[in-house]
Structure 1
Amino acid sequence: MGSLRELLLKCEKPSRYTGGEYGAPEPVWGAGKFNFCMCFPDLYEVGMSNLGIKIVAKSFEERGMCADFCFAPARDFGRGLKELGVPLYSLALKAPLKDFDMVGFSLQYELSYTNVLYMLDLAGIPLTREERRGRNYPLIVAGGPCTANPEPLADFFDIFFIGDGESVDAAVAELYVECGGATEEFFERAAELDGVYVPALSAPQYRADGTISGFCGPKVRRALADDLDGAVFPDKIAVPNCESVHDRAVLEVMRGCYRGCRFCQAGFLYRPVRKRSVATLTKQACSLIKATGYGEVSLNSLSTGDYGKLSELLKSLKGTLPPEITLALPSLRVDSFDGEFAQDSRKTSLTFAPEAGTQRLRDVINKDITEEEILRAAESAFNAGYSAVKLYFMIGLPTETDEDLQGICNICEKVRAIYSKAKRPKALRISVSAATFVPKPFTPFQWERQIDEDEVRHKQDYLIKHLPRGVKFSWSAYYPSLLEAVLARGDRSLGHVVRAAYKNGCTFDGWDNLFNEDGWRKAFYDCGIYAGKFVRERAESEILPWDFADMMIDKKFLLAERGRAYAGKVTGSCMNGCHACGMQKNCPAARGEI
């Protein structure tokens, strides 16, 4: 351990690897006859801000099992572990990952895939399922939004959890104990559970042209947590040793979204909308503040402004929490921005997401907000004391033209004009971000193509040339956006590419300064795979790599929404009537319960 001590003394941010956080649970090795390690394939300060992994770990703790964490070590520490011959270890117990019964990964972002291999490699765990077969290695599992299409990683994992993982993952662990380990009986019984995908028992079958003709296994129905009030929630959490991405207490106000923006994968994956009660949220907030000492509580969801009792919740929290505690609503839509709430918030920058520059294109993507609402929200923010606004847009959306790009510039001009109407103490700062659209599975745009590099360059150059002077403009690089789309829409053949990219030195691909484009290009070339085939427009009759999964969203509904998009028709909020997306039997709103 002396050598490891020396490594800790010379690496960047050693507190990432020491454990001992204030308020951290104290797992007991062997508790419940099952040891689970929750891995996040990114840096400590990113993973420690993620609520999902804490919920999953809590689900194991509540069943009396051992649950610990591990995060992707920065490259300097990873190299040091390799040189020392020290396998990657868990945060609290310092136990080697390869000694756990189950090692689970949270897949939040496609560009984290090489980090999964990086962590397995550092742990001394063979990368593929076949290499581990019949040997005494942990069960390698994954959950998170990327498991909507896990096929590019199918060769590396034993099990994927699809849907609300906290409702099934610990049940699989109990089954593992009951069956005496990763036996054939275990996998067959696990595959019968909702939300459990065993890739070894289900494989795609291909036609001569490379398209999928079908799947050899049954459909996998997603797991669904019906009652959030009764669901697992970590009301006592660790305070990170170093500054994290979000240093605050986080409440999940509700799960799902009523709006149905056609580009938004999360809005479809997390249907139906389920809410926590004001009483539950108030109790959880008090527990979190008492346990952590945080000075801020964030009310998180896909669209917190749609929480029907938001005013009542804010009143309850303000009346219960100490007066110095700040409340944050990071997911407010433009049309639900509350100027009165803004008066109570810290006077920092506000972010609005119009997504598109014209009403025509906002109707296409079902972003049901008007320019008037955008400008009114900006004015409310300015009157509340804000002097910086960030506007988030996408480029490359279906049917987009230069006129829509000019609309982005026009909105910026109008926001500036509103700020100038009154004398204000600070100069206005406007930031515009334009990300390249990535068509994702289980959305009405899952059949669309992604625009090519020349089109991306044209759109970015147009905005650089035409945005008002003084507006800070940022955009996404072409190749990472292409890679995100390829991995989101790909099949099992991409497993060879992911492994080759890792061998070429690709890790931390989600970090602009660490992205290794040459390594990825070489991986595709060496594997003989053309990336462009995965971002082409798909025929509506084509069997897609993710069609093995039943996300409880009717494909006919998605196709109808695609048709409405091209007709420029808006589909209203679920709050105003059910649109029969396929969730009716499981949707509290459709049943008239919320």
Structure 2
Amino acid sequence: MTTLRDILLSEILPSVEKPSRYLGNELHSVHKDPASVKLRIALFFPDVYELGLGNLGLHLLYHLLNGLEDVWAERAYTPAPDLEAVLRKRGLPLFLHESKEPLGAADAVGFSLQSELTWVNVLNAMDLAGFPVRSAERADNAPLFFAGGPTATNPEPLSPFLDFFVMGDGEEAVVEIARALMPLRGAPRLRRLEAVAAIPGVYVPALHPVEMVDGKPFADARVKITRRVVGDLGRAPVPEHYIVPYTQLVHDGLALEVLRGCTQGCRFCHAGMTTRPVRERAPEAVAERIGGLLDATGLEAATLVSLSTCDHSRVRELVGGAMRAARGRNASVSLPSLRLDTFAVGLADFVSGVRRSGLTFAPEAATDRLRAVINKNIPDAALLAMAEEVFRRGWEHVKLYFMIGLPTETEEDVLAIADLCARMLAVGRRFRRDGMLRTGVSTFVPKPHTPFQYAEQLGLEETFARQRLLGARLREIRGVKFGRHAPAASFIEGLLSRGGREVADLLERAWRNGAGYETWEERLRIEPWQQALEETGLDSAVLLGPRDPGARLPWDHIDTRVDPAWLREEWARALRGEPTPDCRGGDCNGCGVSGGLPGECLEMRRRGAAAAEGEVPAAEEPPALPVEAVQRMRFRIGRRGEARLLSHLETAQAWIRALRRARLPLAYTQGFHAHPRVTFSTAAP
């Protein structure tokens, strides 16, 4: 009998763009006999493979679940438009990557919600898999569809569609969920939902009490769902293996979390407010794990992941150890987030070695007054000193992220972005005449569980007007490039981020009107959403409008461990322009986290007080690598089976990574970003 796997591999994948996205047999992917397991779980990233495989959280959950003998966790991603069109035309279901069986073969399907812009893809995935999008309409034997991740902290717009949500850190919770569901395979939906509802941090909308407020349904806020927190990051698991892609990802290389949480207190920042307190991984453990993962994968780069890596209390040891582990394997290390100071510039200098292209910073606002409002406590003088240090050290360009539409913003604040860029560039060009500045200007979107959850968001027309105002001024400055986020994307994000259950109808209507792939600017369309607003009678001005700090909020039943009263006080301090200091190494600000996690908070503040940055050591010389080959070898290679679906460049990359894993004494090009001296023949026709 012809299976879905046969059809995919022989008829469909050879005809789509980048079939390597869908092979599912990458190095370190896990394959089990479905008859030998008691539970099958699909981990679904609702965006394309190139974004999804780089998600560290899913790597971790994948290997944690597959470490359980009786569980098989497989992956699934949003198919690219060309594959989706073929599947729909032929009436074929969305599939699991490893087994190539229909998504419905899984007992549970978990979505990673990283952005509101992927919510439409969640509905589309369920439909493409052959299931009704509304949970109440699905059959009793259907898989349980659930979600976790950052935007799950306001689950209400998705609550009619998903069966349950996981709040907070997922490492322990997902294992508890698997163990709860294993003995209930084939049991009625209600029994399975009752089992997961008993797990701390799990929210089951169908079982949660509901009350009506002003004619709208609200989850009963007296019954709290408390965010899960892994207290000791040093004891938290890290991926033992890392799936090695064939194709190039948006974020290539391996990632390792070195610090979780942030207490800088930026009032707009959802991640900083919902991941407290700060927990660290020891530098020694990071270096050891980086070395092991590079050996096992052959990857060329490692990223030290956190919200603010520079805030690690032992950051010099952390970066130094990681660099030694990576350079001993001819790999590089990168930092995804840099603090706004000269110390961070020195740290980036140390990591980069001799190759200095660009550095990225996020001042977010261009005046001291507005930075006090958002609690980004860095004066103009420090920003200018940072720019001087960047260009003095030989960097080519700086990218600066700003937001427009922040609370209390005026036209002067918008134009100040151009003024600050001009001053920073003038300072920098004293040291580098060809230095450049690039800007990334996005529209502020208020987020739940932050002090700015009460703020108003700019509408579409006002967003365009402020972008035009700023763009005209920036174009007058030679050496500054103006980059901006699509206003339509921020508009859609704002419609969803603070919505209640009534927004579920808007989401579904937009999807049925053709919305999808909202994270792709080239495919983003505002028309399905505008049509959905008309069809549902919802008013965008209300959805984007201000919230009364004393009013009921749709997410009040979700306890992120930060006190709502403290968020209201921070909102009041913002309107008064009063900053709040970072509590690491200082006095407690009373955010509420210490009440539920006193040990973690105490340890965080102890480490913060003991931190001493000092000077960043000078960049090390690159390791001496053989320049001339002692022996030249020629291989004749071929591609058989599923490997025939790889492109020439993908085949070349797979071979180079295999040679790196073998630790063969290859000749390398010279410098801090050395590459093996391997040459391939021309591509096969």
Shift of 1:72: 0.4
Alpha-carbon distance in 2 for matches of 1:391, 1:378: 11
Shift of 1:343: 4.5
Q: Does 1:497 align with 2:486?
A: no
Q: Does 1:439 align with 2:446?
A: yes
Counterpart pick for 2:405 among 386, 393, 396: 396
Partner residue in 2 for 1:374: 383
Partner residue in 2 for 1:542: 551
Alpha-carbon distance in 1 for matches of 2:392, 2:34: 55
Contact map agreement 1:263 1:444 (CA 8 A) in 2: yes
1:522/1:574 Cα in 2 relative to 1: closer, same or farther (>3 Å)?
same
Partner residue in 2 for 1:488: 497
Partner residue in 2 for 1:237: 242
Alpha-carbon distance in 2 for matches of 1:340, 1:303: 13
Contact map agreement 1:226 1:274 (CA 8 A) in 2: yes
1:540/1:499 Cα in 2 relative to 1: closer, same or farther (>3 Å)?
same
Partner residue in 2 for 1:86: 92
Moved more, 330-339 or 25-34: 25-34
Contact map agreement 2:361 2:400 (CA 8 A) in 1: yes
Contact map agreement 1:257 1:267 (CA 8 A) in 2: yes
Partner residue in 2 for 1:322: 327
Contact map agreement 2:218 2:500 (CA 8 A) in 1: no
Counterpart pick for 1:291 among 296, 315, 319: 296
1:213/1:9 Cα in 2 relative to 1: closer, same or farther (>3 Å)?
closer
Contact map agreement 2:326 2:333 (CA 8 A) in 1: no
Q: Does 1:429 align with 2:439?
A: no
Q: Which consecutive residues of structure 1, in runs of 5 or more, have no partner in the other structure? A: none
Moved more, 216-225 or 284-293: 216-225
Alpha-carbon distance in 1 for matches of 2:33, 2:124: 27
Q: Letter of the aligned partner of 1:459 in structure 2?
A: R
Shift of 1:212: 6.0
1:165/1:340 Cα in 2 relative to 1: closer, same or farther (>3 Å)?
closer
Moved more, 363-372 or 78-87: 78-87
Alpha-carbon distance in 1 for matches of 2:440, 2:368: 19
Moved more, 151-160 or 413-422: 413-422
Moved more, 340-349 or 273-282: 340-349
TM-score by length of 2: 0.83
Counterpart pick for 1:460 among 467, 490, 496: 467
Partner residue in 2 for 1:557: 566
Q: Letter of the aligned partner of 2:156 in structure 1?
A: E
Moved more, 178-187 or 29-38: 178-187
Q: Does 1:579 align with 2:586?
A: no
Counterpart pick for 2:25 among 20, 27, 44: 20
Q: Letter of the aligned partner of 1:440 in structure 2?
A: K
CA offsets per residue over residues 547-579 of structure 1, 9 Å max, x none?
011111101111111111111111111212211
Alpha-carbon distance in 1 for matches of 2:511, 2:37: 36
CA offsets per residue over residues 129-174 of structure 1, 9 Å max, x none?
111142x211101000011101111111111001112221221121
1:190/1:31 Cα in 2 relative to 1: closer, same or farther (>3 Å)?
same
Alpha-carbon distance in 1 for matches of 2:249, 2:219: 44
Contact map agreement 1:87 1:123 (CA 8 A) in 2: yes
Alpha-carbon distance in 1 for matches of 2:212, 2:447: 22
Partner residue in 2 for 1:273: 278
Larger Rg: 2
Alpha-carbon distance in 1 for matches of 2:216, 2:45: 33
Alpha-carbon distance in 2 for matches of 1:10, 1:513: 22
Moved more, 356-365 or 330-339: 330-339
Counterpart pick for 2:534 among 521, 525, 540: 525
Contact map agreement 2:218 2:554 (CA 8 A) in 1: no
Q: Does 1:469 align with 2:477?
A: yes
Partner residue in 2 for 1:48: 53
Partner residue in 1 for 2:644: none
Shift of 1:476: 2.5
Identity over aligned residues, as a percent? 37
Q: Which consecutive residues of structure 2, in runs of 5 or more, have no partner in the other structure? A: 1-5, 608-685
Q: Does 1:98 align with 2:98?
A: no
Contact map agreement 2:459 2:544 (CA 8 A) in 1: no
Partner residue in 2 for 1:479: 488
Moved more, 524-533 or 564-573: 524-533
Instruction: Specify the SS of the correspondent of 1:514.
Output: coil
Moved more, 29-38 or 276-285: 29-38
Q: Letter of the aligned partner of 2:183 in structure 1?
A: E
Instruction: Specify the SS of the correspondent of 1:377.
Output: helix
Instruction: Specify the SS of the correspondent of 1:334.
Output: coil
Q: Letter of the aligned partner of 1:197 in structure 2?
A: Y
1:205/1:150 Cα in 2 relative to 1: closer, same or farther (>3 Å)?
same
Alpha-carbon distance in 2 for matches of 1:28, 1:283: 33
Partner residue in 2 for 1:569: 578
TM-score by length of 1: 0.95
Instruction: Specify the SS of the correspondent of 2:589.
Output: coil
Partner residue in 2 for 1:126: 132
CA offsets per residue over residues 19-67 of structure 1, 9 Å max, x none?
2212323344255411111000100000011111112222212322211
Contact map agreement 2:422 2:477 (CA 8 A) in 1: no
CA offsets per residue over residues 207-242 of structure 1, 9 Å max, x none?
34x566762872111111112122122131111121
Q: Letter of the aligned partner of 1:497 in structure 2?
A: L
1:584/1:216 Cα in 2 relative to 1: closer, same or farther (>3 Å)?
closer
Q: Letter of the aligned partner of 2:439 in structure 1?
A: V
Partner residue in 1 for 2:647: none
Q: Letter of the aligned partner of 1:442 in structure 2?
A: H
Shift of 1:590: 2.9
Question: 1:155-304 alignment to 2 at 5 Å?
Answer: 155-180=160-185, 181-202=187-208, 204-208=210-214, 210=215, 215=220, 218-304=223-309
1:67/1:593 Cα in 2 relative to 1: closer, same or farther (>3 Å)?
farther
Alpha-carbon distance in 1 for matches of 2:32, 2:357: 39
Contact map agreement 1:32 1:63 (CA 8 A) in 2: no
Shift of 1:397: 0.4
Instruction: Specify the SS of the correspondent of 1:321.
Output: helix
Contact map agreement 1:27 1:92 (CA 8 A) in 2: no
Alpha-carbon distance in 1 for matches of 2:381, 2:221: 52
Moved more, 431-440 or 527-536: 527-536
1:349/1:85 Cα in 2 relative to 1: closer, same or farther (>3 Å)?
same
1:240/1:223 Cα in 2 relative to 1: closer, same or farther (>3 Å)?
same
Alpha-carbon distance in 1 for matches of 2:62, 2:8: 31
Question: 1:399-418 alignment to 2 at 5 Å?
Answer: 399-418=408-427
Structure 1 runs of 4+ off > 4 angstroms? 210-214
Alpha-carbon distance in 1 for matches of 2:235, 2:426: 49
Q: Letter of the aligned partner of 1:265 in structure 2?
A: H
Contact map agreement 1:304 1:332 (CA 8 A) in 2: yes
Contact map agreement 2:290 2:325 (CA 8 A) in 1: no
Shift of 1:521: 1.1
Q: Does 1:590 align with 2:602?
A: yes
Alpha-carbon distance in 2 for matches of 1:56, 1:464: 43
Contact map agreement 1:202 1:217 (CA 8 A) in 2: no
CA offsets per residue over residues 381-402 of structure 1, 9 Å max, x none?
2233211111100000011112
Alpha-carbon distance in 2 for matches of 1:77, 1:138: 23
Contact map agreement 2:156 2:554 (CA 8 A) in 1: yes
1:257/1:216 Cα in 2 relative to 1: closer, same or farther (>3 Å)?
closer
Counterpart pick for 1:5 among 6, 10, 13: 10
Question: 1:505-524 alignment to 2 at 5 Å?
Answer: 505-524=514-533
Alpha-carbon distance in 1 for matches of 2:196, 2:8: 42
CA offsets per residue over residues 449-470 of structure 1, 9 Å max, x none?
1122343233212211212423
Contact map agreement 1:214 1:543 (CA 8 A) in 2: no
Moved more, 65-74 or 314-323: 314-323
